[in-house]
Chain A
Amino acid sequence: MTAAMIVAGVVIFLLLAVPLIVQVITAFRGPFLPFGVASAQWGVSNFVTLWELREDFWSVLGATGAFVGGSTLLSLLMAFGLAWVTVRTDFPFRRVIGVLVIVPYIIPPIVKAQAYLLMVSPETGVLNQLLRLLPWTGDVPIDPYAFGTLILIQALTNVTFPYLMIVPILTNMDGSLEESARASGASWGETLRRVTLPMLWPGLLGVAVLTFILGLGSLEVPLLFGQESGRSIFALKLWTLISSNAGELPQYGLAAAWGLVFLVITTIAFAVYLRATRNAERRASVSGKGFRPTTMKLGAWRIPVAIGVAIFILLTAVLPLFALFWAAITPYPIAFSFTALVEQTQFGSFAAVLADGEFWASLGRTLVIAGGSATIACVAATVLAYGIARSTSTWWTRAVDLFASSSVAIPATIAGFAMFLLFMVINPVIPIAGTVLALVIAYSYRVSIAYRASYSATLQIRTELEEAALTSGASRLATFRRVIAPLLLPTVLAVWIQVFILGTNEFTLPAFLATPESRPLSMYVYAMINPRSAQLYAPDQGAAMALVFTLLVFLIGYGLQWAVSLRAIGRAKRRPGLPGLGSRSGKPPVAPAPDTISIAAQEHQEHRARTKLRTPDAAGSERSVSRS
């Protein structure tokens, strides 16, 4: 058991720490690769260069701050509003809306970015076309390469992530605290401002930080829009620095110095996040009793809310899919019109995609990479999380715990770049740079998602269940195999699916790591729509492929989830626990649906599980945690 834990710990160390260490070394040992090249020497020359180019540095910092900060703020506002409407109001159809809002989550980010690019195209974009119908707009209502557009689109691309984290925060709020404010005569607005938001804000701050880090790590929108916008955003900067210009050695050292600066920024943000969630735990209003958030009556506000929600769904689901579909059935970019619909449409692009061998090959690679990395991440994370959750808390276990949770603090851009450096450095000895194996390893860096989930799931399994096995004569290993593993399995499967879907959607990591021989589907789609990739450029086929890609992710991901839930239902049928009398002692953690897992929610559950553990004899506190 201990040996397995050590192995898992080492795997996670290799995944998270080693690439970053290599990056730090490269930053101080440039200008090219730190080892195996004659020019490498210790020094701060990379930082000196960074300083010499400080105008560039400040402009990148400013643009990145405005881009990531602005889009984070915007998406948080949208997410909070939507979450509030779906959870806390009497808005009609809020269940349906709750589902529709999640639709963009299943569209791979690169596909979303591509769809927005099509939507806001000056002449042919459907969004511009629609906006031209309004009396007060000009010829090009939305300039695709304006900085504001960039921010808005980034916000729309990522909005589902904060939404999914805010929903559980709102759901788990103790309604009685608000009710007492209402009873003291406060209006809804005052209650929101004086009670609800102050109570929620640590949780919301945590969500903000994670959204911010996600934003720093996403390359899709900057890559598709930013190159033309003239503003240099960090993700793009890093990516350009390592793609060598003709005849020049790529400036890895300088890029590493850049990466380091941003790693410091995200570390600070992560520290803020940790503080915020710690406070959230302390403030958590989860009393366990009277657990029923009250709903707000919308009244006359129903109409403006409905309009807002409709616009949101139009912008994030309907129009993107429509734009893609339109692009796929037209031979070259043309504006939508009924004449065009009748005369110009063709479905050859779909046939071409299905006949394309490279499409199937990259699909296969996507599945291998996503599946392999999800497996590595889940197995290592579960074993380590179990060990840490069950050991007495010392500074050492706390350090391991923090470390294993830290990948959420590493933007995918930095992870991708650091992995890239690592594979370059070890290439003379272990030549895997640019291979599918390298991608499997790199994708596994999202191990913390699995770690946090297994950690909270372990805390929910009461130690007595294990001790009962030990005193029954079972060895540690048998206890794990026969008691712990079956109880953890639903959670682990759900997380596996989540990491798997993240993997199929992944774009930033392969952008840094993949070669045409190893590229997954997301990169192949990008190659099709990138005008610079001369032979492959075929926007209609790219759009068709994007749609097929989305459909496949949907089918595979949700097919898996369906299979798992069928299994769970089958179990539940065999196990019709009587509420109240049922297994207070060890209800298996109910598998959260992959798309509703969020770190905030997990921290929350974990907190409840922990408080439960602290007072094992208080029957009152033993209410099932599985509700959240």
Chain B
Amino acid sequence: MTTQTTDAQRGGGLLVVENLQKHYELDGAEVPVVKGVDFTIEPGTFYSLLGPSGCGKTTTLRCVAGLETSNGGSIRLDGDVLSTGDRHVPPNKRDVGMVFQNYAIWPHMTVFQNAVFPLQVSGGRLPKAQARKRAMEALELVQLDHLAERPATALSGGQQQRLALARALAHRPRLLLLDEPLSNLDAKLRDTMRTELRSLQRSLGISALYVTHDQSEALSMSDRVAVMNGGRIVQEASPRELYDRPADRFVADFVGRVNMIPAVVRDRDEHGDAVVEAFGTRMVTPCPGGVVRGEEVTITFRPESIRWHETAPADRPNVLPARVVRVEFLGEIVEYEAEVLHGGTTVGRLTARGAPMASPREGAEVFLELAPHACRVLVDDPVG
């Protein structure tokens, strides 16, 4: 408990972003890029902005860093105002650390010189010996202390990445900003770095704002994830919640893969469950309030929530006869596509995933089971 407090005091800042707006001028015209973004990062949490390319994640992050001047809204860190629409604290006075996508390691300095830089400049200047000690600590955190005297360019990609992290942490900022820091690494290294980064952030208790377009990265590392689209946050939730209860089609589709099926509500009960008709079959699914009988909705479920059987299981709801048309081996899992059959004709397609051990064969006729708790009903259709 005690360590918890000191860590929080040392690293964790409370970031509050309210109604952030940003537009670029392009040939005299204003191009809105961030259109009123609100979020709060609690001290010591790992917060991700997730979204497709061009949705304004980087711009939001750069506004927080002070590298872009926002056009409206406010940014506050531990109560200090960093930005309002017309007043902006310059980036060097914001007490943040930032890790860039391409590392931005200074090629004319050694590893140590890179790491000690934040402790030598006005923002966080320390006496020489102390600066040295701190910089070495930061390098130790990322296990680069043995390479301190190397030229910074003589590092591998992953090492450069870690150096960038050490440099961002050296002056012990209250907030760590990361813009797709892992996207230049190969898959294996990315997984390792993901774990390292997360445990480092947790042990330092620093608040982190992480930008990525990789949903598995966001889901695996974050305490909270905000999904952005078109300059707005469309849903903010914990990773689990985001995955299980996407707010709309866009989120459902963007976070993980999803099957979407048009359906009509036939009946609903007081527990919040409903009977819907899809593929000509009646299916049971949880359903949000406010949905009435006869309404047209979309039901969604994840490919991995589908189970298959060779013979029709008795007494189970939501079983659909289908023919497997494509089986794709992806390594750890197998993905297969099936045509749903109804009275001998094809009525739709589903994508399913399962363990490679027991996958159906191409062309096989099977029964697909969609567990009711894995289904969701979406009413609104903002993207579609």
Contacts and interface: CB of A to CB of B under 8 A. Distances in A.
Interface of A: 392, 462, 464-465, 467-475, 478, 482-483, 486-487, 571, 574-578, 581-588, 616-617, 619, 622
A576 B152 CA distance: 9
Contacts of A475: 90, 92, 121-122
Interface centre among A465, A486, A583, A586 (most CB of B within 10 A): A583
B294 interface: no
A610 B99 CA distance: 23
A385 to B, nearest CB: 19
Given A468-B104, A472-B167, A617-B101, A482 B121 contact: yes
Contacts of A576: 151, 153-154
Contacts of B107: 487, 575, 577, 582-583, 585-588
A474 B122 contact: yes
7 contacts: A470-B66, A473-B171, A482-B121, A581-B155, A583-B105, A585-B102, A585-B104
Contacts of A469: 106, 117, 121
B122 A471 contact: no
Contacts of A482: 117, 121
Contact of B151 (A474, A577, A622): A577
A474 B120 CA distance: 8
B65 interface: yes
B91 interface: yes
B156 interface: yes
B171 A472 contact: yes
Contact of B104 (A467, A473, A487, A587): A467
B67 interface: yes
Contacts, number: 125
Contacts of A587: 107, 153
B177 interface: yes
A472 B123 contact: yes
Contacts of B25: 392
A469 B151 CA distance: 18
Interface string B296-333: 00000000000000000000000000000000000000
A585 B108 CA distance: 12
Interface in B108-155: 108, 117-118, 121-124, 151-155
B67 A471 contact: yes
B25 to A, nearest CB: 8
B103 interface: yes
Given A487-B108, A586-B105, A470 B151 contact: no
B218 interface: no
Contact of A575 (B92, B117, B154): B154
A483 to B, nearest CB: 6
Q: Top 3 nearest A-B pairs by Cβ distance? A: A473-B123, A464-B104, A472-B118
Contacts of A617: 101
B153 A478 contact: no
Given A474-B121, A577-B107, A617-B101, A467 B67 contact: yes
B92 A473 contact: yes
A471 to B, nearest CB: 4
Interface string B151-176: 11111110010001001101100000
B340 interface: no
Contacts of B51: none
B100 interface: yes
A107 to B, nearest CB: 36
B90 to A, nearest CB: 7
Contacts of A586: 104-107
B267 to A, nearest CB: 50
Interface in B61-95: 65-67, 90-95
A471 B168 contact: yes
Interface of B: 25, 65-67, 90-98, 100-108, 117-118, 121-124, 151-157, 160, 164, 167-168, 170-171, 177, 184
Interface centre among B65, B93, B103 (most CB of A within 10 A): B103
A474 B102 contact: no
Interface centre among B91, B107, B122 (most CB of A within 10 A): B107
Contacts of B97: 471-472
B36 to A, nearest CB: 24
Nearest to B24: A392
A249 B4 CA distance: 91
B173 to A, nearest CB: 9
Given A467-B67, A471-B177, A584 B118 contact: no
A331 B96 CA distance: 78
Contact of B121 (A472, A574, A619): A472
A598 B108 CA distance: 26
A571 B107 CA distance: 11
Given A472-B121, A585-B107, 20 more contacts: A465-B104, A465-B106, A467-B65, A467-B98, A468-B98, A468-B106, A468-B167, A471-B67, A472-B97, A472-B118, A472-B123, A473-B95, A473-B171, A478-B121, A486-B108, A577-B107, A581-B157, A582-B153, A583-B105, A585-B105
B100 A468 contact: yes
Contacts of B65: 467, 471
A575 B107 CA distance: 8
A575 B94 CA distance: 32
Contacts of A487: 107-108
B67 A470 contact: yes
Contacts of A585: 100, 102-105, 107
Contacts of B106: 465, 468-469, 483, 586
B82 to A, nearest CB: 12
Nearest to A467: B67
Contacts of B156: 578, 581
Contacts of B66: 470-471
A484 B152 CA distance: 16
Contacts of B122: 473-475, 478
A93 B153 CA distance: 36
Contacts of B92: 470-475
A475 B66 CA distance: 13
A410 B107 CA distance: 38
A584 B107 CA distance: 9
A587 B107 CA distance: 6
B151 A467 contact: no
B154 A473 contact: no
A574 B151 contact: yes
B274 to A, nearest CB: 44
A348 B164 CA distance: 67
Contact of B154 (A471, A474, A578): A578
B152 A583 contact: yes
A471 B167 CA distance: 10
B91 A471 contact: yes
Contacts of A392: 25
B104 A575 contact: no
B108 A470 contact: no
A102 to B, nearest CB: 30
A601 B121 CA distance: 37
Given A578-B154, A619-B184, A473 B168 contact: no
A478 B106 CA distance: 14
Nearest to B67: A467
A587 B100 CA distance: 16
A467 B103 CA distance: 11
A490 to B, nearest CB: 10
A152 B95 CA distance: 67
Contacts of B96: 471
Contacts of B100: 464, 467-468, 585
B142 to A, nearest CB: 16
B121 to A, nearest CB: 4
A469 B107 CA distance: 13
Nearest to B121: A474
